[in-house]
Amino acid sequence: MSGRGVVITGGTSGVGLATAQRLATDGATRIALVGRSVERGEKACAAVRAAHPECDVHFVAGDANDAGQAVAAATAARDLLGDVDVLVNSTTAFYVPRLLRDTPVEEIAAMLTDQALAPLHMCRAVLPWMADRRSGSIVNVASDAAKVPTPGETVIGAAMAAIVTFTRTLAVEAKRDGITVNAVTPSLIEGTLTGDRALAGGFSRKLFEKARTQAHLGPTEVGDLAELIAFLVGPGAAKITGQVISVNGGISVA
């Protein structure tokens, strides 16, 4: 990873922050974390620097669900790093699984766009730069809800499926420019804000507690995702593109 510019959306916590730490361990010294909270962003940068003093890590404020902010954040990151060689999109939307009949109809549009748009915007922003240099690696974090029909995840499953199909199609478009595009799809991730909300109570808790019992290899943690992402953006995965890989401890094998 030495010398490569890394941009991570949703990089201020959870999978994004774990990935920043993992890539810094692999030698990445130029990292930009994109997020909405300045406070979380500054804390995340401080955490990376504390573990890796040689890493030049920056926080870039922006909501990647907004097209203008996404382009501005990508441009600012490029200005700070010099180039964007790696893009990891790990943004998450605030949601708790609910049956469709219990989901207010006026909330559906926001549930879709708040989850699906950020990766599309960020990929579009960095793609021409990568194409000009004929190299680049992109990883989008989605969810097994894209592949396994699960009660309570009708809307979020649709959003995740959009990310997955987008990833596969972009991989076909971008391969001629030397760019790899892959996705990782966890189920429940232990120790994250989204995971904590899902286990807070009600229908959602019942759903994911049942899923936990099927994770015979152990519940997924942020480090598990970070390890896979580090591989996918590294030299060992130079010929892997258009793949969607589940990391769920054996909950499903789809």
Cβ proximity of 9 and 35 under 8 Å: yes
Instruction: Give the type of residue at 161.
Output: A
CATH of region 5-246: 3.40.50.720
**If you ran DSSP here, which 8-state letter would residue 68 be given?**
H
What's the whole-model pTM score? 0.90
Nearest by Cα to 87 from 53, 124, 61, 49: 124
* 3-class DSSP assignment, residue 101: helix
**Could you give the CA distance from residue 200 to residue 203 in angstroms, rounded to a whole number?**
10
Please list, in sequence order, all residues whose beta carbon lies within 8 angstroms of the beta carbon of residue 96, skipping any fewer than 6 positions away: 197, 198, 200, 202, 204
Scan for tokens 């019992």, then name that residue.
213
User: Residue 137, CB half-sphere, CA atoms under 13 Å: how many?
Assistant: 20
Cβ proximity of 69 and 63 under 8 Å: yes
The Cβ of residue 243 has, within 10 Å, a number of other Cβ atoms equal to 15
206 φ, ψ to 5°? Answer: -60, -40
Q: What is the pLDDT along the chain (254 residues), one digit of tens a residue?
A: 788 999 999 999 999 999 999 999 999 999 999 999 999 999 999 999 999 999 999 999 999 999 999 999 999 999 999 999 999 999 877 777 888 999 999 999 999 999 999 999 999 999 999 999 999 999 999 999 899 888 888 999 999 999 999 999 999 999 999 999 999 999 777 666 665 565 555 666 666 666 666 666 777 889 999 999 999 999 999 999 999 999 877 777 76
Task: Return the domain boundaries, the chain.
Answer: 5-246
**Could you give the CA distance from residue 241 to residue 38 in angstroms, rounded to a whole number?**
33
The Cβ of residue 105 has, within 10 Å, a number of other Cβ atoms equal to 7
In three-state form (DSSP H/G/I as H, E/B as E, the rest C), the secondary structure along 156-172 is HHHHHHHHHHHHHHHHH
Please list, in sequence order, all residues whose beta carbon lies within 8 angstroms of the beta carbon of residue 164, skipping any fewer than 6 positions away: 142, 146, 147, 183, 185, 244
Please list, in sequence order, all residues whose beta carbon lies within 8 angstroms of the beta carbon of residue 99, skipping any fewer than 6 positions away: 151, 152, 154, 203
Nearest by Cα to 34 from 53, 55, 56, 6: 6
Please list, in sequence order, all residues whose beta carbon lies within 8 angstroms of the beta carbon of residue 104, skipping any fewer than 6 positions away: none
